[in-house]
Amino acid sequence: MAQTTSRASKTKRTTQTENQIYDSIRHAVLTQKLPSGARLPELTLSEIYGVNRSVVRRALVRLSGDHIILMRRNQSAVVAHPTREETAQLFDARRHVEAQVMRKTAGQLSASARAEIESMVAAEHQTHDEGHHDDRIHLSLHFHERLADACPNQVLAQILQELILRTSITVALYKVPGMAACYRAEDHRGIADAIFDGDGERAAQRACEHLDYLEQRLTHARNDAEVDLSSILNS
């Protein structure tokens, strides 16, 4: 019994560390601490987190599945570096899918979902004003994810969820330096108001205008400088 308990406890700790590695790298990319093309050696990561390389590898495989990093045969994994063409295709796909999700979701929110989205918009505005850049980025991501969750067509919603993450990663990697998460207060406010009013076409238009604004501000500049993984991932 004691041996079984010990094994279960070890498995739980391993899973927690795997999740920590995944979450830390994802957060570091989204908040512009890890640039496109940054190397992620398994040995270095295993030393940072105090686990064997198999745990690190499982986390990297998950990150690769979410298109946050690239796994390379016989080489270290690297942070993704989408091409201009891939970026254009991602934004084009998201415009089409998100517009349709907006049309289907408009007027369909429950009172609790509406209150949750109102709270997100207010919190996003507050964190921007207070200069909490990392928190604002995650609130922006959650705003779009929450609207996708509310869509009556969950097949479309699942497609949109992937596109939200992939375009958000691209914005984090390539946005113009100094832009506070490409924030415009009226964008999410306008989308939310149109959804609340049941105006699907207006919500779709506002969502597409928001994506146009983001895409137009990407530079695709590469930063090939070496990064200190330990200080970034332990911050």
Cβ distance 224 to 39 under 8 Å? no
Dump pLDDT digits (tens) for 63-74.
Answer: 999 999 999 888
Residue 19 pLDDT > 60, yes or no? yes
Kindly report, as residue ranges, where domains of CATH 1.20.120.530 are found in the chain: 84-215
Residue 24's alpha-carbon distances to 31, 34, 210, 230, 234, in angstroms, are: 11, 10, 28, 11, 8
Residue 191 pLDDT > 80, yes or no? yes
Q: What is the band of 12 on the pLDDT scale with cuts at 50, 70, 90?
A: confident
Q: What is the rounded distance in angstroms from the CA atom of residue 175 to the CA atom of residue 228?
A: 22
The burial of 12, by beta-carbon neighbours within 10 Å (0-12 exposed, 13-18 middle, 19 or more buried), is given as: exposed
Residues above pLDDT 90, as percent of the chain? 71
Tell me which CATH code domain 2-81 carries.
1.10.10.10
Within 10 A of 27 (CB to CB), how many other CB atoms are there? Answer: 17
Residue 111 pLDDT > 70, yes or no? yes
Tell me which CATH code domain 84-215 carries.
1.20.120.530
Q: What is the rounded distance in angstroms from the CA atom of residue 169 to the CA atom of residue 82?
A: 9
Residue 226 pLDDT > 80, yes or no? no
Q: What is the rounded distance in angstroms from the CA atom of residue 108 to the CA atom of residue 144?
A: 16
Dump pLDDT digits (tens) for 122-147.
Answer: 999 999 888 888 888 899 999 999 99
Residue 228's alpha-carbon distances to 17, 71, 118, in angstroms, are: 20, 20, 38
Residue 89 pLDDT > 90, yes or no? yes
Within 10 A of 146 (CB to CB), how many other CB atoms are there? Answer: 14
Dump pLDDT digits (tens) for 163-183.
Answer: 999 999 999 888 876 555 467
Q: What is the band of 13 on the pLDDT scale with cuts at 50, 70, 90?
A: confident
Closest C-alpha to 202, from 94, 115, 89, 105: 105
* Beta-sheet strands, E only, within the chain: 39-40, 69-72, 75-79
pLDDT confidence of residue 182: 60
User: Taken in order 188, 189, 192, 194, is the CA torsion positive or negative?
Assistant: negative
* First-last CA distance in the chain: 39
Kindly report, as residue ranges, where domains of CATH 1.10.10.10 are found in the chain: 2-81
Please work out, in degrees rounded to the nearest 5, the angle formed at the alpha carbon of residue 208 by the alpha carbons of 87 and 212. 50
Residue 30 pLDDT > 60, yes or no? yes
